[in-house]
Structure 1
């Protein structure tokens, strides 16, 4: 049996050209199927799904026998919701078709549209196709080439947290039951008395009783490996979009840069299934891919990453080292001349005991991408009205039988980008319940039911639920910062002119992204007044570098005069 994922090509006048181009590039790894005409192609797709084939992509020429690619691709999700849908447009028809194509993409009748290949080595076309196949392979298919093995019993909550971490890192892995033949060698390597879950990383290291923190520390460098006596130019605490942008620009400008991250590199953005409004990615980009590329980019410039433990304190250096900041992580101290706080925010806990007791067993905080495949044909609920919640709902809808967004506000439009609101409106298996809260929930060993309360009437209803994804309003974690760092009433870090006047020096406020502690900066979602968007966080991460340079220059001048 040919178990390769399928690329279905639906041709018109240029069918031979399209098939030849795809076979030349993708025939080894994908099974190429062809059809002509809307009815024949839809029947072929149904037959493939009935045979158990995975359809990775459907590409349709713009002009078909019974209509257009737009009309055909509109019907594909009813057959296979996870396939990437692409319209292929001849160059000579592009100008006349562009408005219809744009409108169709906004309605989510298709994922995107490309010009037909125009000859040998049309690398722009194939780069776009390869990126879409890569995203499909990460978010839908199971990886064929793996780098990490996770040995665990089914339903192990610790293993679920590890899988979520690996998914957010874009790190291919396989999960094995202890009784699987392939698991024997790994269990033996873990030694007598080993505890599940057991993880073998790509370095060959085997972890017994593994946790997500231990896995990320084993893969990307533990804090214990920080050389003694090293003084970095800039220590960045947090590796979300803001921290990664700061790392790229700091390292590229020759600064000795270290990045400290307690969780997955990429932060909460790494769990976003698809960000469509980020500059430079016209087809969208997953949060995982954006974080992965940024980490590699920063690393190639020389930034060093240390992961797996939270920062617990930042303090000025002692009197004999006044130019240093000391960042403390459990058991380790990192010295740096400047510190950039980019810790972002965390999702608020629901605060419903019956629900929070089932975290990892049907209840998840932000882990929509990694757990979506396990929600196949199930009833799923998403709490939250921000962009992260909208992205999660759209992605889950490709797998789940039904997705319900629960939001306290009267409308999603109050807090969610318009493009996501439109996408939700045209996704048939997503419904929105406004002015509603989750008041209770429970189940035997995993989530089975929820109680939903109407905020206005107080009426409540009990409903079956197989999954609950909580992406509630975010709150910062700044409890570890010194008392002298000014925060607003919600706990976000104040910077620049937002700092209270009693903290100004000689009548001057701190620099725009500087806190009340000289040389300590805050960027991204943790900063009071930030936009709480990936693009703005990245912008602040880049914008902090001139301020860091200014502070470093001041330190050099001070050292020169003393």
Structure 2
């Protein structure tokens, strides 16, 4: 039954309960301005309501179900049916007070396996904002990942399949900035063309408050958002006159962001430099479900942008598109110098939080299709393009698992290729369970990618068994490579000791012949005085978001001690 006035294109929320449909409709009435509410009293009727909505060309944003239904005692089975109809919809169980505790034990295990997204108590009074906070979080996540934005802050005009346009869109998405790619012959494309000569190329980018430009790299766009006259005026106003900052943080992932929040909140002048978008590798994760304090999970992008906004509030200055190419360690406790192709920054202390990059597959025929069907990392902005396609994810870590689960909302099939006999050796149990439950995801263990084929873009992959050597070729539209970690610290000087894999050594891991006065450096200090390391780039780190965040916070007292009078003696 339709309960609200509708306009074409309005997304639908399906409310299902045999006994409490009226209560659910009352509670969800506040969403009726933006969503069409359709109610059902049984699982079967909800299937009919959903099918009718899809036939009308509507998108279904959420299923909200009582913990028990008249025709389906196991509501998880009902969610399975609805998921088959609309894989992208968010799924919410709302139990009445008298059954909330009684039904919880049999239902919570299903949430851990990804069968639904949240288990909530049905509101018992007005203005239950904790309830609605959960609902709006899920709807926000649905809107960001499953639909094109209704309002954009950046317009990208490019020909179909332009690899650079995809990279620019990925940057905007990771920065939390809604954008859209339009072809040159579209209304938007013609409007933007008024600002260019006919000979100007593509892609063209027109972002809020900025002149339209033709971009030649993602770096062009990244620099334009944090290197503006307003930013330079702020820097001049807050500079102490020496031109030297207290803390330069290289890398804007979880470790670097935590350092920025704690350092700037304690009054240290702090600058974060990152070659790309804020968030690092973690920023590409579609949903991190085991991060403390987020019971319904949080996307890497949202976590990163919340941390960035928090750091900005305390005065941190961010420089995206600033790739550090050289660090000159200051002699005798003097300022360090960070250099890029067109900048220099002096800092009294440096925190290396540059993280890791995905390891190259090393197959030339695969590399030839980079950004034409092959991506390193999750590239969540491309997930909607995989609808009704067959995709492959290579990797056995949590990032690969998160990507597979997210892509399964759109793709017809997702194959996870891993060299090991199983995912359990390298992936968190909750992701292994979620993958096992999802009928769209298949795991091919003891397998590797050995070749790729296609005309203008990827069309086929050849996979090989690492046990038997047997090969088979399959049609594939997208390949996502999440192959473990290589440190990004080739820009560091010889004074900073590293292990044989290139990870930065800190504390007692530093070779004894590099200790000063027979004492090891502090736990997160490197062999170069005044240079510290935190997060995935550090040898021996856990390679987990929470661990990186903890190290980023823990390094700040060491920075304070270094900056204190006598600390550099």
TM value normalised by structure 1:
0.96
Q: Does 1:120 align with 2:126?
A: yes
Given candidates 108, 116, 127, the residue that maps to 2:114 is 108
Instruction: Name 2:19's counterpart in structure 1.
Output: 13
Residues in 2 aligned to 1:535 and 1:318: alpha-carbon distance in whole angstroms: 34
In the alignment, which of 211, 218, 225 is matched to residue 219 of structure 1?
Answer: 225
Identify the match of residue 366 of structure 1 among 377, 385, 388: 377
Q: Extract unaligned runs of 5+ from structure 2.
A: 1-6
Work out the CA distance in 1 between the residues paired with 2:63 and 2:170.
28
User: Is the CA contact 1:380–1:468 (under 8 Å) kept in the aligned structure 2?
Assistant: yes
Structure 1 partner of 2:541: 530
Corresponding residue of 1:31: 36
Q: Distance in 2 between matches of 1:269 and 1:28?
A: 34
Matched, 1:266 2:271: no
TM superposition shift of 1:30: 0.9
SS at match of 2:458: coil
Whole-angstrom distance in 2 between the partners of 1:47 and 1:540: 52
Cα deviation 1:270-314 (Å, max 9, x = unaligned): 110000000000000000100010110100111000111310111
Match of 2:564 in 1: 553
Q: 2:493 aligns with which of 459, 482, 488?
A: 482
After TM superposition, the structure 1 stretch with the greater mean CA deviation from structure 2, 155-164 or 107-116, is 107-116
Q: 2:93–2:119: 8 Å Cα contact kept in structure 1?
A: yes
Render the CA deviation track for 1:160-198: whole Å, top value 9, x for unaligned: 101111111121012111111222232222445321000
Would you say 1:390 and 2:401 are equivalent positions?
A: yes
Q: Which moved more, 1:53-62 or 1:216-225?
A: 216-225
Work out which of the residue numbers 301, 312, 316 in structure 2 matches 1:288.
Answer: 301
Q: Does 1:42 pair with 2:53?
A: no
Equivalent positions of 1:463-482 (< 5 A) are 463-482=474-493
SS of residue in 1 equivalent to 2:536: helix
The SS at the match of 1:200 is strand
Deviations 1:483-519 (A, max 9, x none): 1211111110000000000001111100100100011
The offset of 1:324, in angstroms, is 0.8
Aligned to 2:145: 139
Q: Distance in 1 between matches of 2:488 and 2:168?
A: 22
* Structure 1 Cα separation of the partners of residues 451 and 286 of structure 2: 28
Q: Where in structure 1 are there 5+ consecutive unaligned residues?
A: none
Number of corresponding residues: 555
CA distance in 1, matches of 2:33, 2:219: 38
Structure-1 residue corresponding to 2:463: 452
In structure 2, what is the Cα distance between the partners aligned to 1:383 and 1:101? 32
Q: Deviations over 1:385-436 (max 9, x none)?
A: 0000000000011101111011011111111111100000000011111111
2:358 is matched with which residue? 347
Query: What is the alpha-carbon distance in structure 1 between the residues aligned to residue 155 and residue 67 of structure 2?
Result: 43
1-side partners of 2:20 and 2:473: how far apart? 54
Shift of 1:369: 1.1
Q: Distance in 2 between matches of 1:456 and 1:107?
A: 30
Q: CA deviation at 1:97?
A: 1.1
Determine which of 151, 158, 161 is the counterpart of 1:152.
158
CA distance in 2, matches of 1:311, 1:95: 54
Whether 1:418 and 2:394 are equivalent positions in the alignment is no
1:488 is paired with a residue whose SS is: coil
1:298 matches 2:304: no
The residue number in structure 2 matching 1:276 is: 289
1:217, 1:306 within 8 Å by CA — same for their partners in 2? yes
TM-score, reference length from structure 2: 0.95
Q: Decide whether aligned partners of structure 1 residues 270 and 557 sit closer, same or farther in structure 2, where only a CA change above 3 A counts.
A: closer
Deviates more, 1:537-546 or 1:92-101: 92-101
After alignment, is 536-545 or 165-174 more displaced?
A: 165-174
Residue 48 of structure 1 and its aligned partner are, at CA, apart by: 1.7
Partner of 1:255: 268
Per the TM alignment, residue 63 of structure 1 is displaced from its structure 2 partner at its CA by 2.6
Q: Which among 162, 167, 170 is matched to residue 161 of structure 1?
A: 167
Question: Per the alignment, in what secondary structure is the counterpart of residue 311 of structure 1?
Answer: coil
The answer to whether the 8 A contact 1:323-1:555 is kept is: no
Gap change, CA 1:216 and 1:99, over 3 Å in 2: same
**Cα deviation, residue 455, structure 1:** 0.7
Q: What does residue 499 of structure 1 align with?
A: 510
1:22 to 11, 17, 28: 28
Contact 1:239 1:266 in 2 (8 A): yes
Q: Is the 8 A contact 1:18 1:117 kept in 2?
A: no
* Maintained 8 Å contact 2:378/2:482: no
CA contact (8 A) 2:562 2:568 kept: no
**1:80 is matched with which residue?**
86
Among candidates 95, 111, 124, match of residue 89 of structure 1: 95
Deviations 1:92-130 (A, max 9, x none): 211111111211212322111111122211111111111
- 2 CA distance for matches of 1:36 and 1:137? 26
How far, CA to CA, are the matches of 2:566 and 2:124 in structure 1? 57
8 Å contact kept, 1:368–1:396? no
Matches within 5 A, 1:306-325: 306-317=319-330, 322-325=333-336
Secondary structure at the counterpart of residue 76 of structure 1? helix
* Cα distance, 1:331–1:204 mapped onto 2, change above 3 Å: closer
8 A Cα contact 1:187 1:194, kept in partner: no
After superposition, the CA RMSD in angstroms is 1.6
Instruction: Work out the CA distance in 2 between the residues paired with 1:70 and 1:548.
Output: 51
Q: Is the aligned partner of 1:514 residue 2:520?
A: no
Q: Contact between 2:329 and 2:493, CA under 8 Å: does it hold in 1?
A: no
Cα distance between partner residues in 2 of 1:469 and 1:252: 38
1:50-96 deviations in Å (ceiling 9; x for gaps): 33211111101123211343332132111110000000011221111
Counterpart-to-counterpart distance in 1, 2:133 and 2:325 = 43
SS at the partner of 1:358? coil
**Number of the residue aligned with 2:3:** none
Counterpart check, 1:399 vs 2:410: yes
